Amino acid sequence: MPSLFKRSLLPKLRGFALTAEAVTVLSGAAEFRRCLLEQIAQATQRIYIVALYLQHDEAGQEILDALHAAKAARPALDIVVVVDWLRAQRGLIGAGKQPGNAAWYQQQTREHASEVPVYGVPVQTRELFGVLHLKGFVIDDCVIYSGASLNNVYLHKFDKYRFDRYHLLNCPPLADSMQHLVQHGLVASKAVHRLDLPNLPTTRSLRNDIGDLRSRLKHAAYDTTEGSLAKDGLSVTPLLGVGKNNPLNRVICELIASARHQLTICTPYFNLPLPVTREINRALARGVKVDIVIGDKTANDFYIPPSEPFKVIAALPYLYEISLRRFAKRHQRVIDSGLLNLHLWREGDNTYHLKGMWIDERYTLLTGNNLNPRAFRLDLENALLIDDPKGELQGPRRTELGDILRNTRRIERYQQLETLLEYPPAVSTFLRRVSRMRVERLLYRIL
């Protein structure tokens, strides 16, 4: 076993005890939106919303209105919204010059008598090199965990949705731990400022504070002192990670290494880090059945139909497909044997954003981590590891996996995936240029 696992973290993880009744798997984005709004309306103590972004659109307005209504009805309610600092101050990619969500937050604060502070967390001085990618909404003693951000498509406000995972966990110590990290590890930092107030400092002026925050986050962890080391019952452990070889990355690799019979992985962007690829190869060599569920390139949130004008961002789904085709070609033998199953998800014009892992019939990892080099090196990520040694959640687990696989097709041979010659001309031209300039490897590391 590699030296990385001589200092194994799995046996040292403290978990908070759960009951099977305390875990609810929500069936889709629309139910996720309903649940979130219901929990906000019923909150009596605290609401901590943490997401990459809260978008200025109809669904975002619905969420922010609900937060203001809850605060107006119960002024003592502790409400905090945390989003990425840089993402909040730019417009949508490819949509031209826009003021960003921060301008909307400021307008909402001016228009409401109630106060709902929106904090921006700068993980890096440039968005390209790291963002706040934490997940999890703490509402009283519940944690709603999903990889989704907050906008129309993630919340299935209209006709389209972005497919993700959605879990509701009623666990007071878990909620306390996640709130504590946000309150003391993020909001208390000098680098973090309210986006809903005017006269924001420039990112450049915060450079030293941002460096200090990132250094602290590399050594930060969720407080699990109230948890137990015992592995004899259902439990959940929150995990945090930023930067190379962080604890979350190590646990992900250890979980794959622990698989003996079955491993299922979901990722929207097929660009696996080398340590993950190595552990998958070792698992296959051990005879572990491996299922990987990926979105079809047309179900990627960066996909732009060939009928529309080309933008550089539109090349990303094709880069991920190239990576998947290479992987499938190298593993054609185990695909033929049925040991490796690559599933492509597609359902109408909807998009795919699932992340996470299922290991044997014991572990389930809920995470926003895309299992790509960017997640493993640049972004601030978290996860919830559910340990189920007695199989108490096997029913909901099977149902969730069935729902995920319903709209997939298995790749029988790598030739089923398109090549550069079959891509739209604008995409092919761009990718050939990227290949000639030898920046393809750099793109895979940061996208």
Question: Cα–Cα distance between 84 and 123 in angstroms, integer?
Answer: 8
Task: Judge residue 112's burial from the number of C-beta atoms within 10 Å of its C-beta, 0-12 exposed, 13-18 middle, 19 or more buried.
Answer: middle
Residue in 56, 167, 193, 353 annotated catalytic = 353
289 backbone dihedrals φ, ψ, rounded to 5°: -80, 125
Out of 196, 381, 388, 400, pick the active-site residue. Answer: 381
Close Cβ partners of 395 (under 8 Å, ≥ 6 residues apart)? none
Residues in the chain: 447
Is 192 strand, coil or helix? Answer: coil
Rounded CA-CA distance 384/318 in Å is 31
Is 193 in the active site? no
Exposure b/e, 68-97, CB count within 10 A at least 16 = b = bebbeeeeebebbbbbbbbbbbeeeeeeee
What's the alpha-carbon Rg for the chain, to the nearest Å? 21
Of 75, 171, 84, the residue nearest 135 (C-alpha): 84
Rounded to the nearest angstrom, the gap between the alpha carbon of residue 358 and the centroid of all alpha carbons in its chain is: 16
Q: Is 133 assigned a catalytic role?
A: yes
In the set 57, 84, 164, 254, the catalytic residue is: 164
Tell me, yes or no, if 209 is annotated catalytic: no
**How buried is 111 (Cβ within 10 angstroms: 0-12 exposed, 13-18 middle, 19+ buried)?**
exposed
- Token digits of residue 17: 């005890």
Q: Which residues pair with 167 in a beta bridge?
A: 25, 145
The answer to whether 381 is a known catalytic residue is yes
Work out whether strand 363-367 and strand 381-387 pair parallel, antiparallel, or are unpaired.
antiparallel
- The DSSP 8-state label assigned to residue 212 in this structure reads H
Q: Which of 133, 156, 331, 343 is catalytic?
A: 133
- Which of 159, 162, 122 has the alpha carbon at shortest distance from 146? 162
DSSP 153: T
DSSP string, 112-128: -SS---EEEE-SSSSGG
Active-site annotation, residues: 133, 164, 353, 381
